[in-house]
């Protein structure tokens, strides 16, 4: 029998829902917190303390098999620990009422992919996954997956995503991906939805591709979160240096966070890319920042930066904001700091209560 447990578990599907959670001591929890926090979009977010959720030991799946010490070591490399989406993103709200917990793993070609949970937030699907193998990751390395999403048997065209990624240990990467669903505006996203996620390729730092099939099928429902989402129509606009006009169209706020959507009227003949943000405060005097998360030549999305300025107070009823912009370096280099942004419009107020 081979010592590499991944050869034995190849093609295996594991449903972890049936196993009970176990408590871990403070030393084990602190060890798991010593992780690498990296942003997919090279964000300026800083690390925050996180609450660890303990999963069941995988040895329960392999009752009756004996692999010796080498096998037990290999099994331990399949890290079943993961943080909830709220903890991972630094959100101080309980999202259990809105989350669909999957907790299923698929092994192929020596790589184990575990789908932890998903949350449907209107036109965005948050997807939490763990990717692990017996490869030892260096400090600057992390696993990346290439995935295709289907909703009610219709393929979702990839138009953009953001999120965060970090290593839980030297073998395992956890990622929370915020997958944009704007390309399927013609699909009704209410009620129970049949979801399918297929990963076709795994890589470390987008190199050394490993082809395979990691498929997950499940149902999810975003109705409750949609009901609990506050939406405010906006009619504010500003121009930036290159002549483009930015129009703020709506604000949304819920337990997951706060977003501002807008469109761009492209009047520029100038080459170059600009980043925008909104800075200000709430009616309680707390600092507020909405940073650019995604954008095209026609539209953009700004999200509240809870990691930078803390979670927004639930007692806040107004946001007083001012638009700022900065031209991005034409060659790759250091991303501009917030102090390099210049004011490009007048202060305005959003009533969020």
Question: What digits encode the pLDDT tens for the residues 90-144?
Answer: 898 889 999 999 999 999 999 999 999 999 998 999 999 999 999 999 999 999 9
Q: Which secondary structure element, helix H or strand E, spans residue 9, and what is its range?
A: helix 5-9
User: How far is it, in rounded angstroms, from Cα 288 to Cα 284?
Assistant: 11
| Nearest CA among 129, 145, 150, 158 for reference residue 196 | 150
CB distance 93 to 255 below 8 Å? yes
Q: What is the mean pLDDT of residues 248-259?
A: 96
5-225 against 229-351: fold identical: yes
Question: What digits encode the pLDDT tens for the residues 6-30?
Answer: 333 343 444 444 433 344 444 333 3
The whole-number pLDDT of residue 80 equals 55
User: How far is it, in rounded angstroms, from Cα 100 to Cα 179?
Assistant: 15
Output phi, psi for 299, to 5 deg: -150, 170
Read off the pLDDT band of 296 (50, 70, 90): confident
Determine the distance from the C-alpha atom of residue 68 to the mean position of all C-alpha atoms in its chain, rounded to a whole number: 38
User: What is the residue whose two structure tokens read 């049949």?
Assistant: 194
| Nearest CA among 123, 258, 141 for reference residue 178 | 123
Given a cut of 80, is residue 305 above it in pLDDT?
Answer: yes
CB distance 34 to 70 below 8 Å? no
User: How far is it, in rounded angstroms, from Cα 311 to Cα 288?
Assistant: 9
CB distance 294 to 319 below 8 Å? no
Tokens representing 1? 């029998």
> In degrees, to the nearest 5, what angle opens at C-alpha 26 toward C-alphas 19 and 71?
50
Read off the pLDDT band of 78 (50, 70, 90): low
Total count of residues recorded for the chain: 353
CB atoms under 10 Å from CB of 159, counted, come to: 13
Tokens representing 147? 């995935």
Question: What digits encode the pLDDT tens for the residues 197-243?
Answer: 999 999 999 999 999 999 999 999 999 999 999 999 999 999 998 88
Look up the pTM and report it.
0.76
Q: Which residues pair with 119 in a beta bridge?
A: 99, 126
Percent pLDDT > 70 in the chain is: 76
Tokens representing 46? 């800083």
SS3 63: coil
User: What is the residue whose two structure tokens read 């987008």?
Assistant: 206
The CATH-assigned architecture of domain 229-351 is Sandwich (2.60)
User: How far is it, in rounded angstroms, from Cα 105 to Cα 216?
Assistant: 9
User: How far is it, in rounded angstroms, from Cα 72 to Cα 63?
Assistant: 12
Q: Which secondary structure element, helix H or strand E, spans residue 212, and what is its range?
A: strand 207-220
Cα distances from 129 to residues 197, 214, 257, in angstroms, run 11, 12, 20
Domain ranges for the chain: 5-225, 229-351
Read off the pLDDT band of 79 (50, 70, 90): low
Cα distances from 130 to residues 62, 77, 210, 305, in angstroms, run 20, 12, 16, 24
CB distance 5 to 71 below 8 Å? yes
The whole-number pLDDT of residue 227 equals 97
DSSP at 88: H
State whether CATH 2.60.40.1630 applies to domain 5-225: yes
């Amino acid at each position: 029998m081979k010592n590499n447990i991944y050869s034995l578990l190849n093609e295996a599907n594991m449903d972890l829902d049936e196993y009970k959670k176990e408590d871990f001591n403070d030393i084990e929890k602190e060890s798991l917190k010593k992780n690498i926090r990296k942003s997919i979009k090279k964000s300026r977010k800083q690390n925050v303390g996180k609450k660890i959720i303990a999963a069941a030991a995988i040895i329960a799946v392999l009752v009756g098999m004996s692999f010796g010490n080498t096998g037990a070591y290999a099994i331990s490399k399949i890290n079943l620990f993961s943080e909830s989406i709220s903890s991972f993103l630094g959100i101080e709200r309980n999202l259990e009422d809105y989350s669909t917990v999957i907790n299923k793993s698929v092994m192929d070609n020596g790589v184990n992919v575990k789908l932890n949970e998903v949350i449907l937030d209107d036109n965005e699907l948050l997807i939490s996954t763990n990717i692990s193998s017996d490869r030892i990751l260096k400090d600057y390395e992390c696993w990346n997956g290439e995935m295709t999403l289907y909703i009610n048997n219709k393929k979702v065209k990839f138009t953009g995503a953001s999120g965060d990624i970090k290593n839980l240990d030297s073998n395992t990467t956890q990622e929370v991906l915020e997958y944009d669903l704007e390309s399927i505006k013609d699909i009704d996203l209410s009620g129970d939805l049949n979801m399918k996620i297929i990963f076709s390729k795994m890589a470390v730092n987008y190199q050394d591709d490993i082809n395979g099939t990691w498929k997950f099928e499940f149902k999810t429902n975003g109705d409750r979160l949609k009901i609990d989402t506050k939406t405010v129509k906006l009619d504010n606009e500003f121009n930036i240096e290159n002549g483009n006009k930015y129009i703020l169209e709506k604000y949304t706020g819920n337990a997951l966070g706060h977003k501002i959507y807008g469109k761009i009227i492209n009047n520029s003949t100038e080459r170059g890319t600009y980043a925008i943000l909104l800075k200000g405060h709430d009616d309680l005097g707390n600092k507020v920042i909405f940073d650019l998360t995604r954008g095209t030549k026609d539209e953009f999305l700004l999200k509240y930066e809870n990691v930078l300025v803390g979670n927004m107070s639930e007692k806040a009823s107004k946001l007083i904001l001012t638009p700022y912009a900065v031209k991005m370096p034409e060659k790759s280099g250091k991303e501009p700091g917030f102090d390099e942004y210049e004011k490009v419009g007048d202060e305005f107020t959003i009533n969020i209560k």
